[in-house]
Amino acid sequence: MISGRALRMTAVRIVALAAVLVAVGAPARGAEAAKTGYHVTHKYTIGGDAGWDYIVVDPEDRRVYVTHYRSVEVLDADTGVVVGRIANMNGARGVALVKSIGEGFATNGTTDSVIVVDLKTLQRVGEIKADRKPDATIYDPGTGRVFVNNGDSDDMTVIDPKAGKVVGTIPIGGGPEFLAADGEGTVWTNLFDKGAFVTIDVNSLKVTKTTPIEGCKDASSMAFDSANRRLFIGCHSRVLVVVDPDSGKIVKTLPIGEHADGMVYDAANRPIFASTGDGFVTIVHQDSSDAYTLVENVKTMRGAKTLGFDSKTGKLFSATVENVPPHATSQPAPLGKVAYEPGPFVVLEIGK
């Protein structure tokens, strides 16, 4: 006969074993108790092509521009309703908004061009030839220029948006990904294939230096803190690297997920958001210019790798499709690396 003490000890062991099994089976990311309150607040089903890339938010006019391969979907930032569409795109990649002239500049990766649209009507009003496979793009109000990274020709096209013409093409010595500007004549862009970033002087339209990023493989996403002059760079080696771009010094390295492709810095509240294709947004708090704390990993959906930020409300937007399999982090082949049968295209709102 088993004694009462033996039964109690057995019960304790069973409970302990169960706890261990739960811990082992728990997800490595996104398992923390919510610390910021961020979570997926809405999922807007759009449908259509299973291709997506960069997202830009216009906080004043309450619009969200979501590139969607053959179009750019334009959503109401408050309701998620599709209020318009930039149609007849061919490999839509990124959008730069030049509000001062009421025009947007959308990269068309398949036609090697930038489509100019009227922001009120969303109708095409022009097309500017870039180089091979234009991808990420930004508008820098400080210099009044639109900068376009060309992924297959390893260079950057510089556009005067008021004149509607190219004013320069800058060889950058590697495959560019995302970019940032300080508004004072300097632009930085990641070199995906080099694990580095380049510094560009806008006045001379030349690269002034190339800076390797230790521990960074496949540098992809980028954001900039203008007050403290810090670059935040997301790498496919699953790290977020904080860099002083002037000295090239690495300030901090933090862990993030698989397939980094979106980075946002909220200057008002000082969080950094890094979205990754494995279905998470990592939130890091900037304690000071040189001190950073990993706060939490917010679960989104697989494939939701890019990120737009609404500075008015603090909400984030991402995009993906339903039914992304566990071994994929992006759109299905041939646009991505993994073949699968996608579900409907969706836009995610991530807020509190």
Quick one: CA dihedral 157, 198, 264, 246, positive or negative?
A: negative
Angle in degrees, CA 298, 291, 29, rounded to 5: 20
Integer Cα distance of 114 and 106 in angstroms: 5
Integer Cα distance of 314 and 269 in angstroms: 9
pLDDT attached to residue 31:
39
Which residues touch 314 (CB under 8 Å, ≥6 apart)? 266, 269, 351, 352
pLDDT attached to residue 35:
86
Complete edge-to-edge strand list for the sheet that includes strand 186-191: 176-181, 186-191, 196-201, 206-212
Full 3-state SS string of the chain: CCCHHHHHHHHHHHHHHHHHHHHHHCCCCCCCCCCCCCEEEEEEECCCCCCCCCEEEECCCCEEEEECECCEEEEECCCCCEEEEECCCCCEEEEEEECCCCEEEEEECCCCEEEEEECCCCCEEEEEECCCCEEEEEEECCCCEEEEEECCCCEEEEEECCCCEEEEEEECCCCEEEEEECCCCEEEEEECCCCEEEEEECCCCEEEEEEECCCCCCEEEEEEECCCCEEEEEECCCEEEEECCCCCCEEEEEECCCCEEEEEECCCCCEEEEEECCCEEEEEEEEECCEEEEEEEEECCCCCCCCEECCCCCCEEEEEECCCCCCCCCCCCCCCCCCCCCCCEEEEEEEC
pLDDT attached to residue 30:
40
Q: Which structural domains are found in the chain, ordered by start?
A: 32-49+214-352 (2.130.10.10), 88-212 (2.130.10.10)
Single-letter amino acid code for the residue at 134: P
Complete edge-to-edge strand list for the sheet that includes strand 219-225: 219-225, 230-235, 239-243, 250-255
Structure tokens at 240: 């977020």
- Please check whether residue 295 is in contact with residue 284, taking contact to mean a CB–CB distance below 8 angstroms: yes
Could you list the pLDDT tens digit for every one of the 352 residues in the chain?
Answer: 444 444 343 343 433 333 333 333 333 444 344 489 999 999 999 999 999 999 999 999 999 999 999 999 999 999 999 999 999 999 999 999 999 999 999 999 999 999 999 999 999 999 999 999 999 999 999 999 999 999 999 999 999 999 999 999 999 999 999 999 999 999 999 999 999 999 999 999 999 999 999 999 999 999 999 999 999 999 999 999 999 999 999 999 999 999 999 999 999 999 999 999 999 999 999 999 999 999 999 999 999 999 999 999 999 999 999 999 999 999 999 999 999 999 999 999 999 9
What pTM was estimated for this model as a whole?
0.90
Integer Cα distance of 98 and 61 in angstroms: 13
Return the C-alpha torsion angle 249, 251, 254, 256, nearest 10: -50
The alpha carbons of the chain give a radius of gyration, in whole angstroms, of 22
pLDDT attached to residue 19:
38
pLDDT attached to residue 268:
96
Integer Cα distance of 150 and 265 in angstroms: 24
